Chains A and B, each alone.
Chain A
């Protein structure tokens, strides 16, 4: 398959004209770190967007940045760091998880997949930080939506549609997004040796408290052992982790308060800034599962359901390694038992009617065979098809990446 390295809008226009004339599918990607997410794309050519780089606007006092879609997230983070700012949704890096190098992800990739890290629970998802998008629709026409200001209700919020559409609706060339100040102090309160049920109650109490917890995760002993940080792996116990951040006097006060509240749940330790940052980076990147090939699922569920969902999975006799983030709202499950469907029936059966399960890692064969993304109702599927048709009527952008049509053909 031919790859075209994009460095200008003119090239995109030419490729779209070519694709529309011959009804060719185009695989739109940056550094390719997320190619293994979703269904394999049925394309005739690859649009490599990684050459479309550069910051177009950065105003720290306005908390806003506009940059080209091929810009690496790691470079954006470094620039923001110089001004004491950050991407508050903590874009994860699934490169190593999916078998590619670390730090390759691009802005286009992170917003198109709407992936967020552990602070999602407080700071919102990637989509919540996307203010504006410019690019091309599958009709070969330029397109812009949103703006550069925080508060905007002018017309439909098409940024939300572009975020999480895996490049099936439009080719984003420029993205404007909100940034936030970095706090000078970050602490992580660790509570050892609780079971999942107690952990869910503990995280619920933490997030329901006035102490503004920024992230909450639970790692059973097996998962904790795979985190290369002594305080996490060495005790050989499960660990609940609660993140507190803020200006120093506030973070110190709240950290002390949290230690008192959490005391009934187990022994307590506190990670300070460097180790704390390292821990949340490893957690957000699902480090316990790196270096393996077994099917890996990411479940979004009501937080209080996490215990029930895990029991249902285990009741099916499924051998698995797991951990919980987002105070119970996100469950990572790596299946150890072999099954033809990669565990789809067990996983989706366990979450029931409320929640979403996404196959994050699976062989190409498995990703063709099952639905990597949560199936939707027939009415929603119809709306999705019409939306896709409105943006990309000839189905040339990442065809089949997300869903199959009723006739088994890859549409969007």
Chain B
């Protein structure tokens, strides 16, 4: 994976940068320059790629962040913002010549406002901590990425993270009301707030999912919802993945939007059952978990309809949770599917693409063929309701060439997603992982138009460079590429 070539001039003044950064932050220990200490930041959830940052800084106030960014901009130093580092696409991978800006100290809940059904929190608060803070009063925050116990709301906004509940309740972008952020120029701005639609260009909407390339978020206002009266889960097994996929489309086509609808294939079912004895049937090829929430009477009404639809689709097993413990057991297997698969293979890579649901049989069949072609096993666990696939490719990094084969296999899966009308990433982000595949989905002009947005916020390209875009442009050059006598303009700019 090629990253921008480290700037030797920046590396040469490392000591000076450390001294000045220590002058900016109140706690001098918040500037980390020791190699061993920096090791803690060398990768995020995509641990196949590692890079020590030049320096890590852990500020405590918005003023410190503003000063750090102003200073780095003036010194020509790149900055990588980082929350809990749970990104699965290398979005928080450090740069050898960059400052890693850790936001872990921004971990306070600032306000719980039941009158306006919202909360104001700092970006380092974990997703689950938001719900935990209001749970006793009958509220919750809807988006629930699988990593919600560890991932932070700032990171959720950077990646526009999803989760099981976003089928019914939307993604992060649909649940964030406002932010405070600092631009690379050090300016603090507020977008949105406790009110709904703000007029003017929707900068809040475009910051969400921008993978830390446009600004550093320092405060977040999120919408909270009343906790549903009842929740119930249904476990439905099918003799084939095609039948399960067909059932998903028919449930939604019948006008039912479950709170969550997840699917596991045979591989994942067996691995999960072995791992945590969730009580899954082992004689099926595909398993759906359908969660319904609302009043009991509504759950019963929909549950009956779902049973009828499932039976018509050839379901061989259907069980509805009789109590909360049983519902949690149904989910325990699904939630443990990743570590469970980890037990049956030395390594695995989790892919993330979205497809139109109707294409599921075709995609599953083609993935099976690719599995044979590459000689690597694949287990499937995914958000069936919204077509967001998470194929887990099993490999052994100790076998020479297997990681590379796995990467090629993964790329083929993502290309397949685009080919059938889907996208490269549904919730993990592009980061460095899918950066070089962006051309599969966008034309060069589409990508340039996206980069022009980057230029509006960060003209010098200092924030999180090397992520998302396959070619690093300078803003002045966008759309004006002129190759004269075979010489590229700005030959020193790395083009991946």
Contacts and interface: CB of A to CB of B under 8 A. Distances in A.
Interface of A: 59-64, 84, 114, 116, 120-121, 124-125, 127-128, 137, 139, 141-145, 147-158, 160-161, 163-165, 169, 180-183, 204, 207-212, 246-247, 249-250, 253-254, 257, 300-304, 326, 329-330, 354-356, 358, 373-374, 376-377, 379-380, 383-384, 386-387, 389-391, 402-403
20 contacts: A114-B202, A120-B196, A121-B196, A144-B443, A147-B421, A150-B354, A152-B354, A153-B159, A153-B426, A155-B430, A160-B173, A164-B200, A169-B201, A181-B255, A212-B294, A246-B298, A302-B116, A380-B189, A387-B201, A390-B453
A250 B195 contact: no
B206 A62 contact: no
Q: Which of B189, B199, B429 is most buried by chain A, counting CB atoms within 10 A of its CB?
A: B199
B135 to A, nearest CB: 14
Given A355-B195, A356-B197, A374-B198, A151 B387 contact: yes
B297 A62 contact: no
Nearest to A372: B199
A145 B209 CA distance: 14
Interface string B237-269: 000000000000110110111000000000000
A143 B450 CA distance: 10
Contacts of B255: 84, 181-183
Given A149-B387, A154-B423, A157-B160, A247 B301 contact: yes
Given A141-B445, A151-B426, A157-B160, A383 B294 contact: no
B295 A254 contact: yes
Given A149-B426, A300-B196, A329-B196, A137 B170 contact: no
Interface stretch (B7-15, B223-231, B276-284): B223-231
Contacts of B208: 157, 160
B159 A62 contact: no
B455 A156 contact: no
B196 A250 contact: no
Residue of B226, B388, B427 with highest tally of chain A CB at under 10 A: B226
B490 interface: no
A149 B356 contact: yes
Interface string B116-139: 110000000000000000000011
B112 interface: no
Contact of B449 (A143, A149, A212, A301): A143
B200 A250 contact: no
Nearest to A160: B205
Interface residues of B, number: 93
A182 B254 CA distance: 10
Given A160-B202, A161-B202, A380-B203, A62 B249 contact: yes
B229 A250 contact: no
B453 A164 contact: no
A124 B170 contact: yes
Contacts of A390: 449, 452-453, 455-456
A218 to B, nearest CB: 16
B445 to A, nearest CB: 5
Contact of B383 (A121, A151, A182, A302): A151
Interface string B3-31: 00000000000000000000000000000
Contact of B206 (A128, A158, A326): A158
A153 B209 contact: yes
Contact of B298 (A144, A247, A302): A247
